[in-house]
Amino acid sequence: MNLREILVLLISFFLAVTIILTFRKIINYRKSPNRKPQKISIANGDEVKVELEDFSEEDFIDDDMPPEPKSSSDNLIYLHIESDQNNSIQYKDLLSYFDNNDINLADEGGWLKIYLDDSNNFSLVNGLKPGKFLPEEGIDSTSIITMILITDEQNNCVEAFQGMAEMSYKLAAYLSANVLDSDRNKLTKQMYDHYMQQAEETDLKKIKLS
């Protein structure tokens, strides 16, 4: 074998190695899950084809899908009762309603704690500043009251929320008022289900910790 044949073999060998390494690099690049799409400048009229793998799930959002409701806090569920007339909800009327319906409560100094049973309860407060009813200071009426359920203080959060919601509707009917969600919009089934899910998650966490 002469020198020329040896050089041809060496050149062929290096070319083969280069081609193999190039193909391996291309294959590894395509398999990489973390690669990002290239930014391409597109002229008007150009047809662009994009592979779906270049996008994350966050890039696919249905504009017709309603936004997920937000909770007021991780461990609080709020419901409001609002009257169409200013200062039409009288503190004495609230006390009379609970007394006539044999509902246990405690006056905590301007706001009420309502007992659904021995281990579930919620708070009822004046929905306007100062957040309390103070008859001695002339604050004995409001246009909105707020029910507050502290989820992790309930023995059964699902039952507690259901009880608070049921009482809210009955009280709203008594006051000729409306039940609102935490954002003071009319309580919808979607928001009700969202609060139920929040209550269920609280109960599941308690079960896992016990």
Domain ranges of the chain: 3-59, 76-209
pLDDT tens per residue across span 161-183: 999 999 999 999 999 999 999 99
The answer to whether the beta carbons of residues 90 and 141 sit under 8 Å apart is yes
Lowest mean pLDDT among 9-13, 96-100, 195-199: 9-13
- The continuous run of DSSP H or E covering 192 comes out as helix 189-209
Alpha carbons 190 and 128: distance in angstroms, whole number: 26
**Angle (CA) 143 148 149, round 5°:** 155
Secondary structure of residue 90 in the 3-state scheme? strand
Is 38 a residue whose pLDDT tops 80? no
The model's pLDDT over 99-152, given as tens digits with 9 standing for 90+, comes to 999 999 999 999 999 999 989 999 999 999 999 999 999 999 999 999 999 999
Give the separation between CA 92 and CA 81, rounded to whole angstroms. 16
How is domain 76-209 classified at the architecture level of CATH? 2-Layer Sandwich (3.30)
Of 1 and 144, more confident: 144
Q: Give the integer Cα–Cα distance in Å for 94 and 171.
A: 8
Number of H helices, E strands in the chain: 4, 8
